[in-house]
Amino acid sequence: MTALRITPLFAFGSRRALRMIERNLLVYKHGWMVILSGFFEPLFYLLSIGFGLGRLVGDVAGPDGQPIPYALFVAPALLAASSMNGAITESTFNFFFKLNYDKTFASILTTPMSPADISLGELGWALIRGGLYAIGFLVVMIVFGLARSPLILLTLPGALLIGFAFAAVGMAATSFMRSWQDFDLIQLVILPMFLFSGTFFPLDSLPPAAQLLVQVTPLYHGVDLLRTLAVGVVGPSTLVHVAYLAIMGLAGLAIVSRRLDRLLLK
């Protein structure tokens, strides 16, 4: 049954799930500054590290081995990290509060909506929020002259795919959490990924064993996907990145849909 529900959910075909998105829009109607603030973190990183530190670093090797400005190396990675952070914030902290404290989901189930509708609605809202950040950051990259290829426009759906993967897995992980202290485990995973997934320095600067470890992490696949698109270098690895993130998102969505069935309908 879970698999049957996920297909229409992933296709955004549930009208009831759209009501969840509408609800979130109304909730944030007077709190838009909370959403806007999430855009500035990657922008400050780009200005301080990409352009500031970049003057000292100079050019670095791009995805095809050709030298590119350090700012162009960092910018797509920050876009990927921003998509991850936005999705994780919405699908963990906010999701946990609605599930365990505000009892938002329990109240919603008194309507014709199902746990699967809730899963898709929350996931859809996380993607909308992440998409706004991605669009804003993409405009900044173009304004600062970091658009080297028309394929940079594909970084937007790429960022949404990253958001989908992390939001789905974030909700699945949150469904197993029992207290706020459990979120320390999430930060224990997210922070090293942010620092060592090729975000600020090439992967080949790490020891061989560390390179193998990084290459199995989801943020590495997101960073490399957006970087290759931004530079205009695509190949078989691009399809590998897309498949990895898509499977990760679908698996997370399957888990959270089943978990909400157990938690809300018990």
pLDDT in tens, 24-38: 777 777 666 666 666
Ordered alpha helix ranges (H), 65-154: 70-88, 95-100, 104-108, 115-143
CA distance 141 to 103: 40
CA distance 46 to 71: 7
Instruction: Categorize the per-residue pLDDT at 2 as very low, low, confident or very high, splitting at 50, 70 and 90.
Output: very low
CA distance 194 to 78: 9
Strand locations in the chain (E): 59-61, 67-69
As a whole number, the mean pLDDT across the chain is: 83
CA distance 83 to 162: 6
Identify the pLDDT of residue 5.
Answer: 44
The answer to whether residue 260 scores a pLDDT higher than 70 is: yes
Instruction: Categorize the per-residue pLDDT at 202 as very low, low, confident or very high, splitting at 50, 70 and 90.
Output: confident
The answer to whether residue 77 scores a pLDDT higher than 50 is: yes
Q: What is the pTM of this model?
A: 0.86
Pairing of strands 67-69, 59-61: antiparallel
